């Protein structure tokens, strides 16, 4: 028993060394606790890299000293209809062909082209379907398709569901909640009466598996394409109700999502509504941190309005994936904005460059800055990075590991990681930047958080154990962000 306790202590010591030194851990520590260095793991131990990482997570992921007690989440909520994308399109008598992206879908043919465009890239995307009648016909076909399943949907509702798995955490959810969605929500979630509506909003989730083929298109990895004709969420109609409910609920953290839904409403609407949204968000007490969860967007002007002029400067944390990160840089002409898309696993150095640029240009990387943004949680299939301005957030090593752990387990439909069902895809060696000066770094499975610093920004990176046969990809990003926030601690007491 003393040896197990000593092993845990030494593993924690190893992470401390990793934090303040370099990625190479002293061999005597690794040998003592029987967690091999990755270069010699296959020679010295029967443990796979996946086993070593999973064991390290279980030892090192600990909740912060000061935890959230009341979290308010808004404002997009719906019922997801999850169905085989290829199967549904075949049932709709649509033939395969070539892919083409559409910012807004107007017809069944637009849907086919956009689905193929993203399926052949293995990329997630979300689009607005403008024709209400055509959408209703497709929605009925999807609901009747064999194997179709109904789930809680919408970033806010999914984040709320994840938070509700912590019994000591009170969760307020505000959004367009219809009778079916209300029935599906965790009973621990509080929904203000003003948020209830007579009918549900439905979103269609077209999933595809890794290697799945349709015509000449083959998916390189499992993912999904989402579309809807959702006016309540599209106009963020619950935002004012959400902000008004905060005075009575008194949260110590606010999580905001759904801004991407306004994009499909047209420039005239989103320009005016975004101004109203910023006024509403500005009414939230300054001492309450706000996390913004981003999602797929295509309008660079809209993204620029969110990033530069409107929302990003008044939130303290954001969560996003690789498509959203690159699009954000493209919209703002930031680092690597000349890339059309990522080729395979996003380069860690390039991701680091963009995260650093966001916090420098639009965050509080300098004390003199008036912006509130101090934290970015980036997630992609193979790894996650938490980038934070030094001095504002604590427990980020545990937070980034917790996010990776939930991605590994939830994708496989499990409560915990099964090392036989996952694989390591993250690079074992990488650079802190794509340009000079840059530092060569390594991933050590025994202490699976690599830490580096650029100016006042600290980066925490961990690998994800990728599920070999994922059962459901929808909501993974929301679960990752929620889990990362649960394990994060706001260090500063000064108002944001």
Separation of alpha carbons 71 and 173, rounded Å: 9
Distance separating alpha carbons of residues 60 and 15, to the nearest angstrom: 9
C-alpha 297/C-alpha 128 separation (Å) is: 10
Asked if residue 479 lies in contact with residue 162, where contact means CB atoms within 8 angstroms, the answer is yes
CB 361 within 8 A of CB 141: no
237/17 Cα distance (integer angstroms): 49
Q: Are 202 and 78 in contact (CB under 8 A)?
A: yes
**Other beta carbons less than 10 A from residue 45's beta carbon:** 13
- The stretches of 92-178 forming alpha helices (DSSP H) are 108-119, 132-144, 155-163
Nearest Cα residue to 459 out of 392, 382, 375: 375
Terminus-to-terminus CA distance in the chain, angstroms? Answer: 45
Query: Exactly one of 299, 353, 372, 478 is catalytic; which is it?
Result: 478
149-153 and 170-174: which strand pairing?
unpaired
- The answer to whether residue 478 is catalytic is yes
Contact 221, 207 (CB under 8 A): no
For every residue of 235-300, DSSP letters joined together read TTTTHHHHHHHHHHH--SEEEEE-GGGGGGG-HHHHHHHHHHHHHHHHTS-TTS-EEEE------H
How far apart are alpha carbons 433 and 425 in whole angstroms? 20
Are 307 and 337 contacting, i.e. CB atoms less than 8 angstroms apart? no
With a CB cutoff of 8 Å and minimum separation 6, the contacts of 424 are 49, 50, 53, 445, 463, 465, 466
Distance CA 165, CA 161 (A): 7
DSSP 157-172: HHHHHHHTTSTT-EEE
Active site residues: 478
């Amino acid at each position: 028993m003393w040896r197990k306790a000593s092993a845990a202590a030494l593993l924690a010591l190893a992470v401390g060394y990793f934090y303040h030194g370099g990625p190479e851990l002293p061999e005597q520590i690794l040998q003592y606790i029987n967690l091999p260095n990755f270069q010699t793991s296959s020679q010295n131990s029967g443990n796979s890299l996946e086993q070593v990482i999973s064991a390290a997570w279980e030892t090192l992921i600990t909740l912060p000293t000061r935890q959230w007690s009341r979290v308010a989440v808004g404002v997009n909520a719906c019922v997801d209809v999850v169905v085989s994308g290829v199967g549904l399109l075949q049932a709709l008598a649509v033939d395969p062909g070539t892919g083409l992206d559409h910012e807004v879908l107007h017809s069944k043919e637009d849907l086919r082209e956009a689905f193929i465009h993203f399926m052949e890239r293995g990329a997630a995307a979300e689009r607005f379907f403008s024709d209400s009648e055509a959408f209703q016909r497709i929605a009925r076909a999807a609901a009747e398709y064999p194997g179709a399943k109904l789930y809680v949907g919408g970033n806010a509702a999914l984040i709320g569901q994840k938070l509700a798995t912590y019994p000591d955490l009170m969760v307020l959810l505000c959004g367009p909640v219809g009778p079916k969605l209300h029935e599906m929500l965790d009973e621990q979630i509080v929904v203000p009466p003003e948020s209830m509506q007579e009918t549900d909003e439905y979103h269609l989730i077209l999933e595809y598996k890794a290697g799945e083929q349709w015509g000449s298109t083959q998916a390189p990895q499992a993912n999904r394409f989402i579309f809807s004709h959702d006016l309540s969420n599209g106009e963020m109609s619950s935002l004012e109700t959400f902000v008004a409910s905060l005075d009575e609920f008194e949260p110590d953290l606010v999580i905001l999502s759904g801004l991407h839904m306004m994009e499909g409403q047209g420039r005239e609407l989103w320009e005016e509504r975004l101004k109203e949204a910023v006024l509403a968000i500005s009414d939230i007490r300054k001492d309450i941190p706000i996390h913004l969860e981003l999602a797929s967007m295509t309008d660079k002007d809209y993204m620029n309005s969110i990033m530069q002029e409107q929302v990003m400067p008044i939130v303290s944390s954001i969560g996003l994936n690789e498509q959203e990160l690159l699009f954000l840089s493209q919209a703002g002409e930031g680092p690597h904005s000349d890339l059309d898309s990522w080729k395979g696993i996003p380069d860690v150095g390039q991701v680091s460059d963009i995260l650093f640029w966001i916090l420098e240009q639009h965050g509080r990387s300098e004390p003199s800055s008036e912006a509130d943004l101090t934290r970015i949680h980036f997630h992609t299939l193979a790894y996650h990075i938490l980038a934070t301005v030094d001095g504002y957030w604590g427990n980020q090593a545990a937070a980034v590991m917790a996010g990776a752990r939930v991605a590994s387990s939830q994708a496989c439909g499990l409560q915990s990681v099964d090392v036989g069902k996952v694989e390591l895809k993250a690079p074992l060696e990488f650079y802190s930047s794509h340009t000079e000066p840059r530092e060569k770094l390594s991933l050590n499975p025994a202490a699976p958080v690599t830490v580096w610093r650029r100016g006042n920004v600290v980066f925490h990176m961990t690998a994800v154990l990728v599920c070999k046969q994922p059962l459901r990809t929808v909501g993974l990003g929301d679960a990752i962000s929620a889990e990362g926030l649960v394990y994060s601690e706001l260090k500063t007491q000064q108002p944001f």
